[in-house]
């Protein structure tokens, strides 16, 4: 028969379990907002109802991996939106000689680029067989048609008037790209900054046709060579040059990672939008935004 001692032990054990349960449940603090009938909630501020309802898989029968493909590209577009916001601000700050905040914007852009490049590893989990199940439902849609990506390239100097015609179906996107086509790029604005601060920048570079992609000018390499010869004397400009090189390096890493993922997913098949696919992406690796900042390295 159980004795008093045994009952006391059971009671102590039960009390200990009750104490553990109490510790496991973290009570909501009194000050935490609970009623949102008259207040803004997290979901309302972010528009989560619209955002989370913006994924519309088209595969029939439904394919498990289509949601991955859609979210991968939607999140990329959100990051591109922020990148455009930061790059346009950096360009405007350079135009008003506010170098320090412009560099802060570029530092943020570099972090966005790292995130975009890292995202490719998620899409790389999509095998060729899995992608083949959803590819027919993409029809003629393609990342080639991302107007935000084209806008970023235009801002960085890779201008191409033919790209604007791809967006005739989207008047707002076409208008934005047409504006960026004729405006100075970030690099053009940096050259104007240099000119205002006494650096030797050929006049024809300051008044060039901004609709054309920027081309290497050896005269400007001489100017940057002087900067790199004495960094401490030109620290702000020197730092800006390196920030721009970082930005282009990150962009090339993104391009290369894109190429790798496409290669492992579809091989040498043409793209859904009509491009040659891998061959088209490989040629993009030859593009450069800031040619003098690479050419000057042979002088250092």
Residues at the binding site for heme are 258
Q: Which residues are annotated as a binding site for substrate?
A: 69-73, 131, 135, 272
Give the residue among 235, 283, 282 at the shortest CA–CA distance from 263.
282
DSSP state of 138: G
d(CA 148, CA 95): 23
CA pair distance 291, 218, nearest whole angstrom: 10
Binding residues: 69-73, 131, 135, 258, 272
Q: Which pair of structure tokens corresponds to residue 210?
A: 């901004």
DSSP assignment string, 69-136:
HHHHHHHHHHHHHHHHHHHHHHHHHHHTT-HHHHHHHHHHHHHHHHHHHHHHHHHTTS-HHHHHHHGG
156 token code pair: 């960085």
Measured between alpha carbons, how far apart are the two ends of the chain, in Å?
93
Rounded distance between C-alpha atoms, residue 212 and residue 203, angstroms: 16
């Amino acid at each position: 028969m159980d004795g008093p001692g045994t009952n006391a032990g059971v009671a102590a054990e039960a009390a200990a379990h009750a104490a553990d349960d109490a510790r496991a449940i973290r009570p909501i603090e009194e000050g935490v907002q609970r009623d949102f009938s008259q207040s803004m909630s997290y979901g309302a501020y972010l528009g989560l109802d619209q955002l989370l309802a913006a994924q519309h898989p088209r595969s029939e029968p439904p394919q498990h991996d289509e949601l991955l493909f859609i979210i991968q590209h939607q999140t990329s577009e959100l990051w591109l939106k922020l990148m455009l916001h930061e790059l346009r601000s950096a360009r405007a700050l350079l135009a008003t000689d506010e170098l320090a905040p412009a560099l802060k914007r570029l530092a943020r852009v570099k972090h966005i680029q790292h995130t975009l490049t890292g995202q490719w590893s998620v899409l790389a989990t999509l095998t060729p067989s899995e992608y083949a199940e959803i590819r027919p439902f993409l029809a003629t849609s393609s990342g080639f048609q991302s107007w935000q990506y084209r806008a970023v390239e235009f801002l960085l100097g890779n201008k191409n008037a033919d790209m604007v015609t791809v967006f005739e179906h989207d008047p707002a996107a076409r208008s934005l790209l047409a504006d960026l086509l004729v405006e100075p790029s970030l690099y053009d604005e940096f050259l104007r900054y240099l000119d205002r601060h006494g650096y030797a920048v050929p006049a024809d570079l300051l008044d060039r046709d901004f609709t054309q992609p920027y081309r290497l000018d050896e005269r400007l390499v001489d100017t940057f060579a002087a900067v790199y010869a004495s960094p401490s004397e030109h620290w702000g400009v020197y730092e800006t040059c390196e920030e721009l090189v970082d930005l282009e390096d990150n962009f090339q890493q993104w391009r290369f990672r894109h190429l790798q993922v496409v290669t492992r997913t579809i091989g040498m098949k043409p793209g859904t939008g009509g491009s040659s696919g891998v061959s088209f992406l490989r040629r993009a690796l030859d593009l450069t935004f800031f040619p003098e900042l690479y050419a000057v390295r042979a002088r250092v």
